[in-house]
Amino acid sequence: MPLPQIPDVDDLTLDELIGQLLCFGWDSASDSPAREINDHTIALIDEMQVGSIVLMARNHTPNHLESIRANISALQSRSRIPLFIAVDQEGGVVNRFSPQSSPMHQFSGNMALGAIAKGSGKVVAIDLAAKQAALQANELFNIGVNWNFAPVADVNNNPANPIIGVRSYGEDPYLVAELAVVVANGYQSNGVLACAKHFPGHGDTNTDSHLALPTIDVDNKRFENVELVPFKKLITAGVDAIMTSHILFPLLDPKRPATMSPEILTGLLRVKLGYQGLIITDCLEMDAIAKSPGSALGAVAALCAGADIVLVCHTLKTQREVVRKIRSAIKSGKLRLDRLKASVSRVLAAKKKYLTGTMVPQIPPMAPDEVEQTIADKSITIVRGD
């Protein structure tokens, strides 16, 4: 089978350029016997020419890996430009291939690895984190998933946080950094693009950005010593994608959430931190953006601010409106063509790295059942008693 060919940015039509900026998901009827491919899916590829597709739990028939693999293959065959196929497979409470839907291994969440570091030592935790990441990457790669929206690099220093919690490695920014780097390297060295999230930090919130716009109001010293620590380490280590947060940081931009802020995405992430990889937004249908300014205007603002890819996971009508607003912004000059091409060049460079056979997963020298059980066992923390 010939290896996929990735075109150069100057070989793309305007529709194809816009498509490479899009990571869209599709709805699936829960009562359909074949939930994976439908008219919505076809519209994403044929009509909108998306460059990336995100899989949700609703998009695959339970416990049928061959069906998942076949449908991903069908999507790739339908697209002229090879697709990034993305998923949230963090481990723990966020597994799109869950015990109910998949025979894939169900590794513990990140806080389990943080607990191991405190109980059994950092060396043990790092070793197990590396093994877990390699095994996760192998399972994803073998069904055709080439992008994992993980690791979570948020520092969980607010016990009232309703959305991060056990998804974080813990409240110590340096431990979070060490474990996140190991996991990102484990994915990427095994052929799966990693994505650190949620920049510049979602740990110290008491609001879920799916429901409203949170604010993290801290001074510069606190921000540098907590939120930024893991992301700086990940950038130095070579993480190839970072996801934005829909959070207001008055210290950095008093008016716009990170996803829509040029001061944060370009001024901080690109210029100050020197990051050269992909920037993708969190889902723009989350209420923090959808309620104001709206998903479509939020997409344009994110691209103008410095994002390379906008994520819209659910609704066909909203996705079409996003494409219309992007096209309109290009026509009016609000979104410059050179700015668009810079993002598409980064997307295509990442595809050349991960989708052309140059990144081959290693064969893990370990039994996944054993690693899965060891992490679960060692994460148990004695609160009191023996």
Residues with a known catalytic role: 282
DSSP state of 59: G
Residue type at 81 in one-letter notation: I
173-188 vs 228-237: helix axis angle to the nearest 10?
30
Phi, psi for 291 (deg, rounded to 5): -75, -30
Q: SS3 of 145, please? A: coil
How far, in Å, CA of 248 to CA of 204, rounded? 12
- Return the bridge partners of 89, or none: 95
Element (H, E) at 89: strand 89-91
Q: What letter represents residue 279's amino acid?
A: I
Q: What is the 3-state secondary structure (H, E, C) of 335-354?
A: CCHHHHHHHHHHHHHHHHHH
Please return the burial class of 208, using the count of CB atoms within 10 Å of its CB with bins 0-12, 13-18 and 19+.
Answer: middle
Beta strands in 153-272 (DSSP E): 196-199, 241-244
The DSSP code for 152 is B
* Contact call for residues 124 and 116 (beta carbons, < 8 A): yes
Q: How far apart are CA 300 and CA 330, in angstroms?
A: 9
As given in the structure block, the two tokens for residue 298 are: 């939020």
Do 67 and 36 meet the contact criterion of CB atoms below 8 Å apart?
yes
